[in-house]
Amino acid sequence: MSQTIDIERIARLARLTVSEAEAERLEEELGVLLALADGLYDKADEEGEEGVSLVALRGDEAEESVPREVLLDAAPNSSLGWVTVPRVVEEGEL
* Domain assignments of the chain as residue spans, ordered by start: 1-51
Q: Was domain 1-51 assigned CATH 1.10.20? A: yes
Residue 18: C-alpha distances to residues 5, 8, 14, 25 (Å):
14, 8, 11, 10
Q: Could you report the per-residue pLDDT of 23-48, keeping only the tens digit for each? A: 999 999 999 998 888 887 776 666 56
Segments of the chain with pLDDT less than 70: 1-3, 43-57, 93-94
| Nearest of 32, 29, 53 to residue 41 by alpha carbon | 53
pTM of the model: 0.46
